[in-house]
Amino acid sequence: MSTVNIINLHKRFGELEVLKGVNLSVRSGEKLVIIGPSGSGKSTLLKCIIGLIKPDRGDIYIDNVRVTDPKTDLIEVRKRIGVVFQSNNLFYHLTVLKNITLPLIKVHKLREEEAIKIALRVLKEVGLEDKVDSYPAELSGGQQQRVAIARALAIKPRVLLMDEPTSALDPELIDEVLEVIERVSKREITMIIVTHEIDFAEDISDRIAFLDGGVIVEEGPPHEIIYNPKKRRTREFLRRVLRKRIPISANTHL
Amino acid sequence: MVFINSVYDILYFIISITPFLLRGLVNTLRIGIMSFIFGFLLGMVVGVCRVSGGRAISTIATSYVEVIRGTPLLVQILFAYFGLPFIGIKLSPSIVGVVVIGINSGAYQAEIIRSGILSIPQEQLDVAKALGMTNLQVMRYVILPQALRNIIPALVNEFVTLIKDSSLVSVIGEVELTRCGEYIISRTFRPFEVFFVVALLYLVVCFTFSKIASLLERRVRVPGYFKVYRW
């Protein structure tokens, strides 16, 4: 488990200023959910944490390691962080098993037998032990995401980052992935999850942060953010993503 | 009767020149295969540099591609064989053939490899890096295995082009297939039959290689991913 501290993070892409001073600290073992409209900088923020994007200003610390320090060995940082992206997580030319063992062997320098043992164990945890020899394109989107989660768990991460892990999925496949994440969230592991699944966020998170316009607009315990947001922007956003909860009668005049 | 006789005569002539032409063909294949491999290695380095090198490296790589692609292969061959000796570099026709065609093909193959790399979704790169791989590992284990599968048809294209373009080294006296043909014509004055057989031999070689390549393509196809494309 690790703590993650983000201090006054700025990032601009040309004309577009994506992050305008993000401050966020995540306690060890905390499950933080980040919500926010598209283009608000959620993905950029996550990519900054693992050093895939270099911020213009500000700092990120994981435990006491300054990720934003140019002298920091990012590979050592990444070895302890599991990441699941929205889509295209798996290497299409490798079987499910190889997808999981490749980083274990090449990055973590495990022997092949050891890597296979770990891979089989994590696949079992996500309920896909029968798919070891399948190729990613032979799996459903939901199964692909579960393999990606298994791969992230295989390295025994201290921090797990998820960038909209269910946003690219067909509606009927979302639940199987959320169930797996929910099970993972019971573990002692620091998690930062970007998602639009508000019910899910309420269930698993210790805290929700609302990111909009490149800053954290509001953060707090899930029930407070969801049912009693203080800021107008948070309220408006939640109303948009929760539109399914609007009673049918309210729409009859349309 | 006259017609039959002349057909018989043509066939007999073709059969009698074929062994000699085959020797030229072997040389064509030698130049073709060696320069293709040389060009592939060069193209791999240059292509990867263009995509992922720093600004300086990428500029050098781009300049190489532009210069080679912007000048005729024939001029490059003539320059290497007749021009370079003036600055003290004297190369035999057969070395010039392999090296110049290789360097030439390298520029085209670099672009093919670059387009293959660019066809791989950005997320694959992000994921691989996030898993802690070094840039070299990302290229070797994630990007190139997928990119190379995607560019097999383009590489076959390049190879058959190269086999045919190798005929240009005949101008500096390297005895490959075309030069062999010209030599026979100078002795027999029968360009019709000779060039017909020469062309046929090129066709057989190129066709064979594209068949081999499509077998290879099928073998390395990833289940479920590279589907047969249907409208």
Which residue type sits at A50?
I
Report helix, strand or coil for A198: helix
End-to-end CA distance of chain B: 54
Question: Under an 8 A CB cutoff, do A106 and B222 touch?
Answer: no
Give B142-156 pLDDT, tens digit per residue. Answer: 999 999 999 999 999
* Rounded Cα–Cα distance for residues B212 and A81 (Å): 44
Q: What is the mean pLDDT of residues A167-191?
A: 90
pLDDT surpassing 50 at residue A246: no
* Residue B18 buriedness (CB in 10 A; 0-12 / 13-18 / 19+): middle
Q: What is the mean pLDDT of residues A180-208?
A: 92
Query: Best residue in B125, B127, B226 to probe A by mutation, most A CBs within 10 Å?
Result: B127
Report helix, strand or coil for A108: coil
Residues in chain B closer than 8 A to A50 (CB atoms): 129-130
* A4 DSSP β-pair partners: A26, A62
Question: What is the average pLDDT score of chain A?
Answer: 91
Question: For residue A245, what pLDDT band results from cuts at 50, 70 and 90?
Answer: low
- The full length of chain B comes to 231
Question: For residue B226, what pLDDT band results from cuts at 50, 70 and 90?
Answer: low
What pTM was estimated for this model as a whole? Answer: 0.86
DSSP B133-169: --HHHIIIIIIHHHHHHHTHHHHHHHHHHHHHHGGGG
Give A53-91 pLDDT, tens digit per residue. Answer: 999 999 999 998 999 999 999 999 999 999 999 988 999
Question: What is the average pLDDT score of chain B?
Answer: 92
Give B68-105 pLDDT, tens digit per residue. Answer: 999 999 999 999 999 999 999 999 999 999 999 999 99
pLDDT of residue B4: 76
Closest CA of chain A from B160, distance in Å: 27
Closest CA of chain B from A200, distance in Å: 24
Structure tokens at A39: 């283009």
Contact B31, B169 (CB under 8 A): yes
Report helix, strand or coil for A57: strand
* Rounded Cα–Cα distance for residues A124 and A114 (Å): 16
- Nearest alpha-carbon partner for B96 in B42, B194, B169: B169
ipTM of the complex: 0.89
pLDDT surpassing 50 at residue A254: no
Which of the two residues, B225 and A102, has the higher pLDDT score?
A102
Q: Which of B126, B133, B141 sits opposite A52 (nearest CB)?
A: B126
pLDDT surpassing 60 at residue A249: no
Which of the two residues, B230 and B51, has the higher pLDDT score?
B51
Question: Under an 8 A CB cutoff, do A93 and B133 touch?
Answer: no
Structure tokens at A253: 């005049």
* Rounded Cα–Cα distance for residues B78 and B89 (Å): 13
Contact B136, A102 (CB under 8 A): no
